[in-house]
Structure 1
Amino acid sequence: ILLASMDGYRAEGDWNQRITALAMRLRDAFGRQPQLAAVWGRYASSGAGSRLVMEEVLQALRASGLPDEEIPARYHRLAVLLSALIASEAGISTITPDEHEQGLELFRVAVLGADPERFPTLAHFARDVRPLGVDRHAAFEGILAAHLADIEAAIRPR
């Protein structure tokens, strides 16, 4: 999957655009074979595809202006974040429509039915709290953007 996701990939744009484009390619590739996303999230790959992905992310981080000594730790955090988000999104995509509806009903009962005496804050926000499976693509993109903004903040002169 990693090798296929890198097929035809061209590093274009700044470091942030490169990492974002790569993350979207990985999400789409694993979205087509979601059962493998959880495996990727648990075990490191040592194949050519893995090395291509690692090389691109490391090159993009280096192009960002981060000091070399910060790049391995930033890479690791980014790799953990992406594998977790992709595995989570893939897991949601494998449930049946009936399982999805059951899960939503259980969520509604648990959240909307929260006892305001015992769970006052949950009861207050109940109508606005969304289930984990709702709008995964936007959540993925927002979480990735926030993480890349954190890296951007570390690059700026202090």
Structure 2
Amino acid sequence: MTTGRRRWSTDEILDAAADLLRTGDAESFSVRKLAAVLGTDSSSLYRHFRSKTELLRAVADRVLLAAMDGYRPEGDWRARLTAVALRLRAAFGGQVQLAAVWGRYASSGEGARLVMEEVLSALDEAGLPDAAVPVHYHRLVVLVAALVSSEAGIGGLTPAEYDQGVELFRVAVLGADPGRFPALARHARDLSPLGADRQAAFEDILAAHLASVAAAIP
């Protein structure tokens, strides 16, 4: 007696895709690989998603949904935008490939709508002219996506890989020839590697951008 293949739900497919992306990258990810993990064939997955890109967007959107789960707007427009950015940072933290997927493919689901609505609403509250709101929205999202992807990449390193990177950074900086690199030699002992003090750097860069938004308010 033979039995049919199991029918996987959309949520189960997305869970499996997220797990696969945590151990690989978006370039090597394929619907065929995902189907093999689930013990089914690609055609059964294409009943849920029309393409690999649509599937990846859905995976990214689930992270956005998780980031906005339980969110309530509090404080002024700066506080609201900062809170959303920090929630996205936390949601993608350590998930290198999922952060890359969001940065590359974006998403078009409920999670994306929640983020967009809150960011646009906060920018409206700031008092920007209507024509300026989409411009500042786009700049802010590009900035946060870039910062989140960068942080996730560093967070994905093992302790040994990170320590090796720090040592290589010190060699490159402290070993620089002062004759060829005078500015580098002058500031060498005060420089920090990319992964150092990441949260403060994230918040400082975000605050500087929000200051530029404030400067644009009539």
TM-score (norm 1): 0.95
* Amino acid of the structure 2 residue aligned with 1:30: F
Deviations 1:97-126 (A, max 9, x none): 111111111100100011000000000000
* Contact 2:95/2:156 (8 A) holds in 1: no
Unaligned segments of structure 2, at least 5 residues:
1-62
Deviations 1:64-117 (A, max 9, x none): 000011111100000000000001001001111111111111100100011000
Quickly say closer, same or farther: Cα 1:138–1:38, change in 2 above 3 A: same
- Equivalent residue for 2:128, pick from 66, 73, 85: 66
1:47-66 maps to which residues of 2 (within 5 A)? 47-66=109-128
Partner Cα separation in structure 2 for residue 99 and residue 90 of structure 1: 14
Q: Deviation of residue 34 (structure 1)?
A: 3.7
Residues 1:132 and 2:194 aligned together: yes
* Contact 1:34/1:94 (8 A) holds in 2: yes
Please name the residue that 1:9 is paired with.
71
**What is the number of equivalent residue pairs in this alignment?**
156
Bigger Rg, structure 1 or 2: 2
Choose between structure 1 and 2 for higher RCO, CA contacts under 8 A separated by at least 6 residues: 1
Please name the residue that 2:216 is paired with.
154
1:114-133 maps to which residues of 2 (within 5 A)? 114-133=176-195
Partner Cα separation in structure 1 for residue 155 and residue 97 of structure 2: 9
Please name the residue that 1:94 is paired with.
156
Partner Cα separation in structure 2 for residue 125 and residue 43 of structure 1: 39
- Equivalent residue for 1:104, pick from 158, 166, 170: 166
- Equivalent residue for 2:137, pick from 72, 75, 78: 75
- Equivalent residue for 1:24, pick from 73, 80, 86: 86
Partner Cα separation in structure 2 for residue 112 and residue 41 of structure 1: 34
* Amino acid of the structure 2 residue aligned with 1:62: D
Residues 1:41 and 2:103 aligned together: yes
* Amino acid of the structure 1 residue aligned with 2:147: L
Quickly say closer, same or farther: Cα 1:154–1:28, change in 2 above 3 A: same
Partner Cα separation in structure 2 for residue 150 and residue 93 of structure 1: 28
* Contact 2:65/2:111 (8 A) holds in 1: yes
TM-score (norm 2): 0.70
Please name the residue that 1:143 is paired with.
205
SS at match of 2:98: helix
* Contact 1:3/1:48 (8 A) holds in 2: yes
* Amino acid of the structure 1 residue aligned with 2:166: L
Partner Cα separation in structure 1 for residue 210 and residue 151 of structure 2: 20
Q: Deviation of residue 33 (structure 1)?
A: 3.3
